[in-house]
Amino acid sequence: MPSSPANNAPALTDLVMPKLGLTMTEGVLAEWKAKPGDSVSAGTVIFVVETDKIANEVEAPSAGTIAEILVQTGETVPVGTPVARWTGKGFIADEADAPRPAVEAPKPAPLPASTGDRVRATPLARRIAKAQGVDLHAVAGSGPDGRIKAADVEAAAKTAPAASPTEGERIALSAKYLAMVRRVVAAKRDIPDFQVVRTADVGALLELRRQLNAVGGPKVSVNDMVLKAVGRALLSLPRANRIWAEDAHIAFAATDVGMVVNSEDGLFIPILRDVGRLPLDRLAVDSAAAAAKAREGRLAAGDITGGAISVSNLGMFGAKALTPIISPPQSAILGIGAVERLFRPDAEGKPALRQEMTLTLSCDHRVYDGVLAARLLQAVAEALEAPHSLLLTEG
């Protein structure tokens, strides 16, 4: 609430920890870009928030002057917690450019002091732990509510057994990589997933891709065509374009699809917008740009927010198939294997050479049943086997 003005001083308003995604419940205030007394204009970056997915630059919603810093660098606080007081108007809320679901999600309940894989520790304790290779999960905290202090980490480091020459080298991992690890561990633990598998004859698709790339323009990859097939499947089966959220479903109107990209900091999933309605050549441009941003570490919060399904492709590495892990809050992910050349009997029983791709759909059973999963996979396979449908831009 704004404070009462005194001596004609401007009223102060809270700046709060923003909600930067459907599943975000807390964030680490990684860096302040402004200090008490600084005047900032609307759109100026004033602090940086780290979530379990990415670092986000938070901009001032209006012009104002920072009066007081309430949360220090390195502290983890729930969404909605005041982090500073200032003279500007408005509150920092959801990411302005993030896509909106067709149905509003219920607001998540605040997390308790210690939850899941998140360890409560002071910023100094975290720095010492990283420098000395101490696992904070194995440290008992002596601070309030079990918070780990620097002295706790130093004591743990002194009592840790020295590594023998045969144990190998301990390699520190980046914060982004560790965030990815926590995310997949939580997904595997919390999501009741199941898989549906089938193959698709992609001979016609490979020929169409050859023809498209022969006439110039943006280069279209097999992955682009799979992404397009998934987007069109969502147009025909809107019931599959949902995610789970606290005893409710969120239904999306746009056919957004995530694309798994490997980088030195782990796996990232940029979201491609309304793929089912996007022309294939435009999709090829967008997917190439998104992959480059992911590998260069330039993804913003809006780039990884939204969508109910992603595509993970290992076909270029010769893997026959893969069973990918769903990336929450999404409800499904499609694994793509390598194209195989093999003989199958034709309509007359004679051997015919086919080029087949294995598709594995991992689904959240809270959103999908077996029939819906099979229908979605069937729609994707049919689009790949009749690939000229991928040149259409409307359902």
The H or E element containing residue 4 is none
Whether the CB-CB separation of 244 and 331 falls below 8 Å is answered with yes
227: closest CA among 261, 272, 196, 269? 272
Kindly give, in sequence order, each residue whose CB lies less than 8 Å from that of residue 64, ignoring residues fewer than 6 positions away.
13, 39, 40, 86, 87, 88, 89
Instruction: Quote the DSSP letter at residue 223.
Output: H
> Is 249 assigned a catalytic role?
no
Helix (H) or strand (E) holding 195: strand 193-201
Q: 137, 249, 365, 388: which one is catalytic?
A: 365
Going by C-beta distance under 8 Å and a sequence separation of 6 or more, which residues neighbour residue 106? 245, 246, 247, 248
Residue 388: phi, psi to the nearest 5? Answer: -65, -20
Query: In terms of DSSP H, where are the helices of the chain?
Result: 123-132, 150-159, 175-190, 203-214, 222-236, 280-295, 370-385
d(CA 5, CA 147): 37
Report strand pairing: 13-16 vs 64-69: unpaired
8-state DSSP, 329: T
Beta strands in 264-331 (DSSP E): 266-268, 271-272, 309-313
Nearest one of 7, 17, 162, 154 to 79, comparing CA atoms:
17
Q: Give the residue numbers annotated as catalytic, written as ranges.
A: 365
